[in-house]
Structure 1
Amino acid sequence: MRPSMRASRNPLKVLITWVKRQPPKVKAFLAVVTGMAAIVFLRFIVHDHDNLFVAAEASHAIGISVLIYKLMKERTCAGLSLKSQELTAIFLAVRLYCSYVMEYDIHTLLDSATLVTTLWVIYMIRFKLKSSYMEDKDNFALYYVVVPCALLALAVHPTTSHNIIHRISWAFCVYLEAVSVLPQLRVMQNTKIVEPFTAHYVFALGVARFLSCAHWVLQVVDTGGRLLTALGYGLWPSMVLLSEIVQTFILADFCYYYVKSFFGGHLVLRLPSGVV
């Protein structure tokens, strides 16, 4: 009986259990190694690395669709952060303005659609479903992220030939996007229990952020570093890549618990203290 019992053990569960027992520094190292390995894997299986950006946008769209489905079907916004949606609307509005005056392309249209749906979500939370909004749990002060992002944008921004206001605005939306999910993570940390639709939404954001990060890293590798020069000089190119990496790692811990819960057969995600 013992050999058969050992053979029936799920290797993934064994791996997750082993990782869970490791100290924080080892977990961080394993996360970095796993991320790098995933990027190398994507480099060889995806021939056109621009498709990774399209995949990132698609993942974001799926996440928003899940969110809309939750609001329409369950008629509740419990577990959602209004402040995260407001931060998302701010950086999308600023990025849209910069796109119109600096580089109008297909991404401008995609951002327009995302902004419209985000404003609809804000409207639903503020007015239609206000009674189910957990305002006491959504207690992340927005000035903790908005003010530092604005100051950082003043100090480090693109060195292109565009108007200085446009360049600072572009930097501001890049930095703000990197931390816009923090209020949502705080809500989930405060409640400890995350219902499925909210968990799916945040996981989709995590996947989108990783694919976007992989896109930028592989583009730099493919161009032999020339992409960094095209973005400008000084600290700005490094800050763009750093912002992508920060977004990915902010969501990495949540995605770990999401995958663990999914393979454990649990519909409701329970977060331990200290995830955010």
Structure 2
Amino acid sequence: MKDRRAQALQAWLRHQPPKIKAFMALVSTVAALVVIRMVVYDHDNLFIAAEAVHAIGISVLIYKLATEKTCVGLSLKSQELTAIFLGARLYCSFVMECDVHTLLDLATLTTTIWVIYMMRVNLNSSYMLEKDNISNLYVVVPCAVLSLLVHPTTQHYMVYRIMWAFCVYLESVSVLPQLRVMQNTKIVEPFTAHYVFALGVARFLSCAHWILQVVDTRGRLLTALGYGMWPSLVLLSEIVQTFILADFCYYYVQSVMGGQLVLRLPSGVV
């Protein structure tokens, strides 16, 4: 009976117009934020949870590469972009804060570099170069230019503020090459799907952290981040990276509920 109800709900959702789906996604997001605010006392833990979920996603990739001996379906360019923004964030964290976030970033960066090594050296023959066709320059250069124009106005050295802005902007779009690979193949094998879903969850938790912090401080957090366009762009970056993955996460959950091991994406998704 429950399976029939779930299938009926999925069928109903599939036939809804895009505007209705967007409205329902917005309502669901607000409801999730309300629940998180009621359940999680210290909202700083959300950011730690986001980093932990990202690390879990990388661990799934390591398991895939170590056991299946193939990197089919993975974007090397997304892993390289991830290593770049993690390296920049790790350096900024070390010189500006040096706390538990520094250790989490170090662990995630180390595993990401291992994944890149495996894809470039040991498993290069299975790498889908023709599908991974977004140039990293098209992603890195705009983020670098934007970080020069809009960055924090804190008391830290200019180079640290620019690097901080750069890693925020780059993180928000680093998954684009991976989404392009999935768009080109249309079929996503389980471990890659688990990894991308983990990224989506991590992005949502990070976005929830910032939104709830702004709500709790009644906007004072925005002033603490600096003045001008920077506070708004920080929040916008968090929201953008969440909604970039929202569509994929919807089909992932739908696939899991349907008991499917391989995720098949409809046309137009991601």
Q: Does 1:89 align with 2:83?
A: yes
Structure 2 counterpart of 1:76, from 65, 70, 81:
70
- 1:137-176 → structure 2 map (5 Å cutoff): 137-176=131-170
Instruction: Report which of the two structures shows the higher radius of gyration computed on alpha carbons.
Output: 1
How many residue pairs align between the two structures?
270
Partner of 2:15: 21
Q: Which amino acid aligns with 2:50?
A: A
Equivalents in 1 of 2:245, 2:97: separation in Å?
A: 29
Is 1:128 aligned to residue 141 of structure 2?
no
Q: Which one of the candidate residues 95, 101, 105 is aligned to 1:107?
A: 101
TM-score (normalizing by structure 2): 0.96
> Does the 8 A contact of 2:44 with 2:209 survive in 1?
yes
SS in 2 for 1:62: helix
* One-letter identity of the residue aligned with 1:128: N
1:61 paired to 2:50 = no
Q: Does 1:240 align with 2:244?
A: no
Report the Cα distance in structure 1 between the residues aligned to 2:115 and 2:2, rounded to whole angstroms.
Answer: 45
1:230 alignment partner, one of 224, 230, 240: 224
**Other structure's SS at 2:147 match:** helix
Match of 2:156, SS state, is coil
* Cα distance between partner residues in 2 of 1:249 and 1:264: 23
What's the CA shift for 1:8? 6.0
* Letter aligned with residue 191 of structure 1: T
Question: Is 1:218 paired with 2:216?
Answer: no
Q: Report the counterpart of residue 268 of structure 1 in structure 2.
A: 262
Runs of 4+ in 1 over 4 A off after TM superposition: none
* Comparing 252-261 and 140-149, the one that deviates more: 140-149
> Which residue identity lines up with residue 268 of structure 2 in the other structure?
G
Q: What is the deviation of 1:205?
A: 0.7
Structure 2 letter corresponding to 1:70: K
Measured in 2, the distance between the counterparts of 1:53 and 1:173 equals 15
Give the alignment's Cα RMSD to 1 decimal. Answer: 1.3
1:101 is displaced (CA, Å) by: 2.2
CA distance in 2, matches of 1:19, 1:189: 22
- Deviates further, 216-225 or 124-133: 216-225
- Residue 198 of structure 1, aligned match among 185, 192, 201: 192
**For 1:171-212, what per-residue CA distance to the aligned partner results, in whole angstroms no more than 9, with x for missing partners?**
011000000001001111111111000000110111111111
Shift of residue 91, structure 1, vs aligned partner: 0.5
Write the letter of the residue equivalent to 1:168.
Answer: I
Structure 2 distance, partners of 1:35, 1:146, is: 29
* TM-score between both structures, scaled by the size of structure 1: 0.94
1:50 is aligned, of 44, 68, 74, to 44
> What residue identity is the alignment partner of 1:23?
P
Counterpart in the other structure of 1:4: none
Q: Residue by residue, what CA displacement relative to the aligned partner does 1:201-234 show, whole Å, maximum 9, x if unpaired? A: 1101111111111111111111121111111111
| Equivalent position SS for 1:267 | coil
Query: Share of identical aligned residues, percent?
Result: 75
Q: 1:51: how far off?
A: 2.0
Structure 1 residue 142: Cα displacement: 1.5
Extract unaligned runs of 5+ from structure 2. none
CA distance in 2, matches of 1:19, 1:219: 32
Q: Distance in 2 between matches of 1:171 and 1:265?
A: 41
Corresponding residue of 1:256: 250
Contact 2:46 2:206 (C-alpha < 8 Å) held by counterparts:
yes
Secondary structure of the residue that 1:48 maps to in structure 2?
Answer: coil
| Residue 32 (1) aligns with residue 20 (2) | no
Correspondence 1:183 to 2:177: yes
